[in-house]
Amino acid sequence: MNPWEISNIGELIPFALGITVLGLLGKILGCGVAARLTGLNWYESLIVGLGMMPRAGVDIVIAVTGLTLGLIDQAIYMGALMLIYVSSIITPVTVQYAYKLYQNKEKSSN
C-alpha cells in the first residue's frame, strides 16, 4: 500500500487514526501514571501526561529508521507522522484546558 496515492487514502486513514489514538493514549497514560506514582495528584498527572504528548524527536527518528531498513511499510510510517503532527497541534489546547480544570478544583477546595 502506497499512502501517497490518492486511491489508497480510504484504506489508510482508519489505520493512521488508529495508530494516532493508540499513540496519544500511550503517551498520556504512560507519563500520567508515572507522574501519579511520584506523588502528584490526578490533575497534575494528567497535565504531565498531556504535556509529554508532542515529544516527537524520537518518534521521527524511529519511524525514518524503520522505513529505511524496511522494518515498517509506508502506511505505518504515515501513521507515525500523523501521530507526531496531531500530538504537536493538540497539546497546547489540551494542557491549557487541563490546567484550567486544575485551577478550578483548587479554587473550589479552598
pTM, two decimal places: 0.76
**Amino acid, res. 79:** G
Burial tier of 14 (Cβ tally within 10 Å: 0-12, 13-18, 19+): exposed
Please name which of 26, 39, 9, 38 lies closest in space to residue 83, comparing C-alpha atoms: 26
pLDDT score recorded for residue 108? 86
**Is pLDDT larger for residue 19 or for residue 11?**
19
Confidence check: pLDDT of 5 > 70: no
Length of the chain: 110
Per-residue pLDDT reduced to its tens digit, 20-33: 899 899 989 999 99
Q: Who's near 70: CB < 8 A, 6+ residues apart?
A: none
Please state the domain extents for the chain: 9-109
